[in-house]
Amino acid sequence: MKQKFNWIWCFVLLFTALSLQAADLKEGDLAPTFKIKDQKGQEFDLQDRKVKAQWTVLYFYPAAETPGCTKQACAFRDGIEKIRKLNADVIGISINSVEDQAGFAKHHNLNFTLLADEDATVTKLYGSKMPILKMSKRWTFILDPQLKIRAINRDVDPVKDATQVAEKIESLQKSPVN
């Protein structure tokens, strides 16, 4: 009985350690920069966003072509003009391949960049990797033109995310930088 208890305790500790190993990013932090391939196979460098002096929406999602992720992507597609009028652009990230991201973008006529984080490097960097599973949690980060994290949503409603993001960016742009 004692040995069984020890194994359970070890599993709990391991699960907790895996959950805590990722970065604990918060509002006000500089966003970790990275370079990975987009759905066209071209290199995307987050650092280039500073040159464009635009706001950036980084949204992490579990997997292309799943119901919630499709609803979220289509909501961003349909709301992209309002977001772009706020000098912002949307970047979707999942642990899918370049080919999967390309197919997802084509199938749903997505009009923004999707990034293929096949080895989960960026997902881990932002702390959104699910423990054990090769999937990201559904999290959204809003970065200002200097790549400072201005908002993090860790409780994303896939249908409302695009609308909430546009409202949040508009609010942030009206308020002074902390």
Q: Could you give all domains of the chain from N- to C-terminal order, each with its CATH number?
A: 25-174 (3.40.30.10)
How far CA 82 is from CA of 10, 40, 42, 116, in Å, comes to 49, 24, 26, 25
Position 63 scores a pLDDT of 96
What mean pLDDT do residues 5-15 have?
43
pLDDT at residue 125 tops 90: yes
Q: Beginning with the edge strand found earlier in the chain, give each strand of the sheet holding 149-153 in spatial order.
A: 43-45, 35-38, 113-116, 88-94, 55-60, 139-143, 149-153
pLDDT tens figures, 19-75: 444 459 999 999 999 999 999 999 999 999 988 889 999 999 999 999 999 999 999
Q: Tell me the three state secondary structure of residue 84.
A: helix
Report pLDDT digits (tens) over 58-69: 999 999 999 999
What is this structure's pTM? Answer: 0.85
* Catalytic site positions: 69
